Amino acid sequence: MGVGTCCGKHNRDLKRPSRRESTDTMHLAEKLNNRDSKIHIKSDNIQKYYDVEWEIGSGHFGKVKRAFSKDVKISQDFAIKSIPKSKIKGRVELLQRELGSLMVVDHPNIIRLYEVYEDKHYIHLVMELCTGGDLFTQLLEKGRYNEGEAARIIYSILHALSYLHSLHIVHRDLKPENIMFATHDANAEVKLIDFGLAKKFITEDCLLHTPVGTSYYVAPEVLQNNYGPSCDIWSLGVILYMLLTGKPPFNGRSDLTIFKNILSCSYPKEGSSEWESLSEDAHDLLTKMLNSAPQHRITASDALNHRWFEKRNHKDSRVIDKIIFSRLKKQVYTNQLVKESMKLMIKYTKEEDISQLNDIFRELDQEHTGLLTPSELKEGLIKAGISLDMETIENIIRNAAYDEGDKLDYTAFIAATLDRKLLHNKDTLWLAFKQFDIDNTGTISIENLKEVFNRGGKKIRKKELRKILEIYGIDENKGIKFENFCNIFQKNDEDISSLESVYSRRGPEKSVMDSNRV
């Protein structure tokens, strides 16, 4: 069968593995050190805030339902995963691991977690909703993908893996059911979900010793109980093989046969019609991903540079253009409140509004770490015909970064480059306001601000917060009302515009920005 042809709806070689296969092998002896990735769980009735409607999926831990905010000002839909407490009895650390991992990650191809509620019987995770379905269902319908289509999907997931691995997080349960399409659009962003088995490991060479995963996708070293992040690359290699051929590479009537084939790395290659129909580059990448020796297996970052990805179906708009760059170079945070609020707002932006920026971010991030360095930005600018000295570029990054660091993370890049009209509109501002108004009083108090800053890992003194309120003429005792909140952003935009004139005369010097920071 030729590349890109479809096998129709009933693909006999693909079956959805039962959950037993995927979870029986779990062993939870590993203790999670999640000091730095704690999540705030709201002990409140979720029904007060969301209408939880129909089921859109179910997994080992519980059902996932589509939900709508009861707040009429919030038009966005959500996915709520409700986990019965009885299911997590004694396995709280497993759940904490999922939440902890999701809390620290910031990437366009990883599902966003908004908030977590707890009631007597359940833990509810409020997540970004993916409406495009999962990759497994799409694969069953399509039969197989052509190389261009597959390259686009695998490239995005590799990008997410490269980022996760650089943070020392290994997903460990990569399978097509855990890859979702954000929307039904043909070029929809793909999102990695289900961090139930993800494990934060301490160093690159610290190997894990717990057999987990789903039989088709499990790496040989996982079966031998000695594995690290490269087990994700193996699983993604299996997925790539399935997308291109419509068949799992390691198959068998029982798990035991599948495992035997995995351990001997025996899968249909030369001589099989599906394999022969693929390009040389596809053969090369698959062989490198399905290398049974983890130490010789290609890394996520090297795989992203493989020439097969030149086939990827992509849009033309990946190069940073002058308009986007002009927004980036103007970005400066006039105070901490604006900065934290922007972070919250970006979490709620619509996929269609940021898809071009996501492409640009991935393109600029040549080292695939999820963080833009000055030299990566310089190189990207050269491609766009903009030549700047390194010092200027470093200053631009420092001004736009959340921690005034020397690298720009994904959210900070989007916050800096997104059209302000999309960000500073009443709907998005309201969503950010609601995040600060923890006790739902309709006003944000100094205590609320301090708490939200703390949750975001930022220690801020009340004195500093009072100073910010003073600038905007807000009475501390009355708190910040929604109108005040909107005014803060209007004033921030005005301040940035007035800085621009200084900026364009003197260049983006640090002193200009510092004099405006609180």
Residues serving a catalytic function are: 173
Q: Which stretch binds ligand ADP (CB under 6 A): 1-9, 25-33, 188-196, 238-246?
A: 188-196
Q: Does 201 bind ligand ADP (CB under 6 A)?
A: no
- The string of DSSP codes covering 44-65 is S-GGGTEEEEEEEEE-SS-EEE
Q: Does 130 bind ligand ADP (CB under 6 A)?
A: yes
Residues 479-518 that bind ligand ADP (CB under 6 A): none
Q: Which stretch binds ligand ADP (CB under 6 A): 126-134, 322-330, 410-418, 454-462?
A: 126-134
Q: Ramachandran region of residue 404, left (φ > 0), alpha (ψ -120 to 50) or beta?
A: left
| CA–CA dist 303, 285 (Å, integer) | 7
Q: Smallest distance from the beta carbon of 80 to ligand ADP, in angstroms?
A: 9
Here the tokens at position 507 are 């260049």
Q: Given the structure tokens 């690359």, which residue do they identify?
A: 233
Residues 66-95 that bind ligand ADP (CB under 6 A): 79, 81
| CA–CA dist 102, 112 (Å, integer) | 7
Nearer to ligand ADP, 25 or 366 (CB): 25
Q: Does 182 bind ligand ADP (CB under 6 A)?
A: no
Quick one: which of 67, 110, 140, 193 contacts ligand ADP (CB under 6 A)? 193
Total of chain residues touching ligand ADP, rule CB under 6 A: 22
Q: Is the separation of the CB atoms in 491 and 485 below 8 Å?
A: no
Quick one: which of 52, 64, 188, 396 contacts ligand ADP (CB under 6 A)? 64
Q: Which stretch binds ligand ADP (CB under 6 A): 24-32, 55-63, 250-258, 323-331?
A: 55-63
| CA–CA dist 278, 280 (Å, integer) | 7
Q: Does 143 bind ligand ADP (CB under 6 A)?
A: no
| CA–CA dist 443, 179 (Å, integer) | 39
Q: Is the separation of the CB atoms in 126 and 117 below 8 Å?
A: yes
Q: Which stretch binds ligand ADP (CB under 6 A): 129-137, 147-155, 211-219, 239-247?
A: 129-137
Q: Does 60 bind ligand ADP (CB under 6 A)?
A: yes
User: HSE on the CB side for 48, CA within 13 Å?
Assistant: 9
| CA–CA dist 127, 129 (Å, integer) | 6
315 is in an annotated binding site: no
Q: Does 17 bind ligand ADP (CB under 6 A)?
A: no
Nearer to ligand ADP, 97 or 398 (CB): 97
Nearer to ligand ADP, 55 or 514 (CB): 55
Quick one: which of 59, 252, 456, 507 contacts ligand ADP (CB under 6 A)? 59
Strand, coil or helix: 310:
helix
- Of the candidates 228, 240, 222, 226, the one whose C-alpha atom is nearest the C-alpha of residue 290 is 240
Q: Does 290 bind ligand ADP (CB under 6 A)?
A: no
Q: Does 129 bind ligand ADP (CB under 6 A)?
A: yes
| CA–CA dist 3, 66 (Å, integer) | 36
Q: Which stretch binds ligand ADP (CB under 6 A): 6-14, 127-135, 293-301, 360-368?
A: 127-135
| CA–CA dist 191, 177 (Å, integer) | 11
Nearer to ligand ADP, 79 or 290 (CB): 79
Here the tokens at position 102 are 């999701």
Angstrom CA distances, 279 to 147, 245, 248, 310, stand at 8, 12, 18, 12
Here the tokens at position 167 are 């943070």
Nearer to ligand ADP, 57 or 380 (CB): 57
Quick one: which of 100, 109, 116, 134 contacts ligand ADP (CB under 6 A)? 134
Nearer to ligand ADP, 110 or 488 (CB): 110
Q: Is the separation of the CB atoms in 278 and 288 below 8 Å?
A: no
Q: Does 394 bind ligand ADP (CB under 6 A)?
A: no
State the binding site for ATP.
Answer: 81
Residue ranges that bind ligand ADP, judged by CB under 6 A: 56-62, 64, 79, 81, 111, 127-130, 134, 177-178, 180, 193-194, 196
